[in-house]
Amino acid sequence: MIFSYGIRAGAMALLLLAGGRAAAADAGATALAELIKPMLILPADSGGAWEGLEADRAIRWGAGPTMLNKPSPDGNFFARPGQTTLSGRPVTVVASGARSMVFSFYVRDAAPPMDPEALVAGLKQAGFAVTLARCPADPRGVAPRRWYKVALAKKKPAFLYAGPLQSGGSGYTLFLNDLPSMTQAEAALHTDNCAAGGRSAPGASAMPAAAARPTTGQAGVVAVIEALLRPPGAPANLPWASLASLPVITWSSAAPMKMSNPYSDVGQDLNPRLFEGQFKTATTTMQAIATGDERAANRFTLRDGQRIPRGAVFAALARDGYSLTPLRCGKVYTETSQAWFRIAGPGKQPAILYRAHHSSDGVVSEDYALRLDNTLPPAEPGQTPPVGGRCRDQ
């Protein structure tokens, strides 16, 4: 598959090149840097134009964009293949994005991976400012995959991935907007906090240290749920201002807005105020929603979380001493399952916890919602009590 990120067993040895090989790699790095220059977009743009690909005469583009039956690693469903040369070698280029615009470029080179120092030196020689964006979590280790933030004058900064392919060749991906989420396997080996613990990379400056935070989606969801649950005797809500302290959530405004169209995905919600934000960890991005009255919030939702291992959130809550009792099962759907639980734990008031699993075009996601008032929403047609203490697919 042209999007493969696989690693062959001997990839680490390829990073330890001799001086002569490193010198040759410098030319390849500079050629790569010149190849990606025309791909960068203007600072105000959110993506590139499909029709604009033709302006890059160095690449011979094939038909497209064509809709894929599976998403690219960064979640895109449209692609257009191309061919070019890199230091005289033929390489494959794939532009990837949505129906309306391009968000990333994949370059596949048959040559073995170049030394990280040579890659960074080549980028700098071509005029790029280079910052290490993701690095090995263990400062004593050396990982074959690298992520850099690359910046060019008058262009929007982008992120460049470099790593070995299963074939023994090199894979490069240019992400035009954001550093992509990690897989669970990547999160176990890498960190976005490259300044912590003295981590560094050859030739690239480290990014500023960030506060410790959950790395995976499941750890983030558990941290949010446990932070929201109220201690005995406390009000079953939280003042709006206190939500700023929730882990891994950034709210989009300073105050909640009037909710004119109540959300009904997780049951009827007639709260008059709504607060929206973004939940983000290294592996998972979700939409965060809080609703309540003029003074405080009592219902919270995290939506569309991908790359969360099935059952991982509940397993972590159980390890932390929480019990989860099924109360209601959702209507049976082919690609969606949902259920409501009562969550109770040591030193916390019981609450209602909702969980849903979704599958669309092979992409699996999860939703979670917490009702601190410990009341179920009114039942809707098709919803049923648990059978044998459980719901289907839960």
In the prediction, which pLDDT does 11 show? 32
In the prediction, which pLDDT does 99 show? 94
Q: How far apart are CA 383 and CA 394, in angstroms?
A: 14
Which of 127-141, 151-165, 295-309 is least confident? 127-141
| Residue range 1-19, pLDDT digits in tens | 445 433 332 332 333 333 3
Whether pLDDT at 200 is above 70? no
> Could you tell me if 189 and 136 are in contact, meaning their C-beta atoms sit under 8 angstroms apart?
yes
Q: Give residues with Cβ within 8 angstroms of 3, minimum separation 6.
A: 72, 73, 94, 96, 106
| Residue range 336-376, pLDDT digits in tens | 899 999 999 999 999 999 999 998 877 899 999 999 999 99
In the prediction, which pLDDT does 206 show? 44
The pLDDT of 114-127, averaged and rounded, is: 92
Question: Global pTM?
Answer: 0.78
> Could you tell me if 337 and 359 are in contact, meaning their C-beta atoms sit under 8 angstroms apart?
no
3-state SS, residue 123: helix
In the prediction, which pLDDT does 204 show? 55
> Could you tell me if 133 and 123 are in contact, meaning their C-beta atoms sit under 8 angstroms apart?
no
Beta strand 205-206 with 129-136 is: parallel
> Could you tell me if 305 and 366 are in contact, meaning their C-beta atoms sit under 8 angstroms apart?
yes
Q: Give residues with Cβ within 8 angstroms of 149, minimum separation 6.
A: 130, 131, 132, 133, 157, 158, 159, 160, 179, 207
CB atoms under 10 Å from CB of 340, counted, come to 25
Query: Using 50, 70 and 90 to split pLDDT, how confident is the model at 141?
Result: low
| Residue range 292-336, pLDDT digits in tens | 999 999 999 999 999 999 999 999 999 999 999 999 999 878 788
3-state SS, residue 324: strand
Domain map (residue ranges) of the chain: 11-206, 217-371
Q: How far apart are CA 151 and CA 291, in angstroms?
A: 39
> Could you tell me if 39 and 105 are in contact, meaning their C-beta atoms sit under 8 angstroms apart?
yes
**What percent of the chain clears pLDDT 90, i.e. is strictly above it?**
66
Tell whether the torsion through CA atoms of 315, 316, 321 and 326 is positive or negative: negative
ω before 247 within 30° of 0 (cis)?
A: no
Whether pLDDT at 227 is above 80? yes
The pLDDT of 129-150, averaged and rounded, is: 85
In the prediction, which pLDDT does 17 show? 32
